[in-house]
A and B are shown apart, each in its own frame.
Chain A
Amino acid sequence: AQSVTQLDSQVPVFEEAPVELRCNYSSSVSVYLFWYVQYPNQGLQLLLKYLSGSTLVKGINGFEAEFNKSQTSFHLRKPSVHISDTAEYFCAVSDYYNTDKLIFGTGTRLQVFP
């Protein structure tokens, strides 16, 4: 079975600073990886996904993530954050043989301060 660990429940950062949100996964088979963002009182929106190919994935709103198979990680980064990036971010995994289901991490709350 797969599992996802988001190491930080909250990440405070000042506007225009870089940020990294950490995600580690566990699986005995090949996986697909995702980052979703949830703004207050809204549902989740897909930021980016890794299916195959290049390990560096670019998503919407200037975010990118790098798949590292040896470290079983899929950390999310942005070089310069905005106030509007304040939200909850979820890492999710789906295994290669059971792609119907997504397993979500517990989320990381990114708080951007002026």
Chain B
Amino acid sequence: DAGVIQSPRHEVTEMGQEVTLRCKPISGHDYLFWYRQTMMRGLELLIYFNNNVPIDDSGMPEDRFSAKMPNASFSTLKIQPSEPRDSAVYFCASSLFLWGGPDKPQHFGDGTRLSIL
């Protein structure tokens, strides 16, 4: 089992640039989640998908953020234009059915550390 794969692991870019974060969920998982982690706000759920359809995007901070899941094996989180306050670690997680009926927890990737200068 390859686990949830995120790329890139680190991204440093200048303010105003477009940033695209990528996620490959575990094969067969129906749910995909995007989280943002900062020192000030902790771990926040941004958006999640079920069977490639966005279910709840109420955590997306503003219109500069967008997420897509064109197929069951790939999702992107895009920030355009980026701002220094977007600097954070962004995590992708996937799960089978819900977050975790027995033995079905959310599986997290190792995250993308984003720095906007």
A-side residues, CB < 8 A to B, are 34, 41-46, 49, 51, 90, 94, 99-107
Q: How many residues of B contact A (CB 8 A)?
A: 24
Q: Binding site of B, secondary structure by majority: helix, strand, loop or mixed?
A: strand
Q: Are A43 and B110 in contact (CB under 8 A)?
A: yes
Cβ-defined partner of B43 (8 Å) among A42, A49, A51, A107: A107
Q: Are B31 and A43 in contact (CB under 8 A)?
A: no
Instruction: Report B67-96 residues with CB < 8 Å from chain A CB.
Output: 91, 93
Q: Is residue B108 within 8 Å, beta carbon to beta carbon, of the partner chain?
A: yes
Q: Are B56 and A107 in contact (CB under 8 A)?
A: no
| Across the A-B interface, the 10 shortest Cβ-Cβ residue pairs | A43-B108, A106-B42, A46-B105, A104-B43, A44-B108, A99-B98, A43-B110, A43-B109, A42-B110, A43-B91
Listed A/B pairs (6) with beta-carbon separation below 8 Å? A42-B111, A43-B110, A44-B43, A100-B50, A106-B41, A107-B43
Q: Is residue B100 within 8 Å, beta carbon to beta carbon, of the partner chain?
A: yes
B-side residues, CB < 8 A to A, are 4, 31, 41-45, 48, 50, 55-56, 91, 93, 98-100, 102, 105-111
Q: A100-B31, A101-B45, A104-B43 are in contact. Are A44 and B102 (CB under 8 A)?
A: no
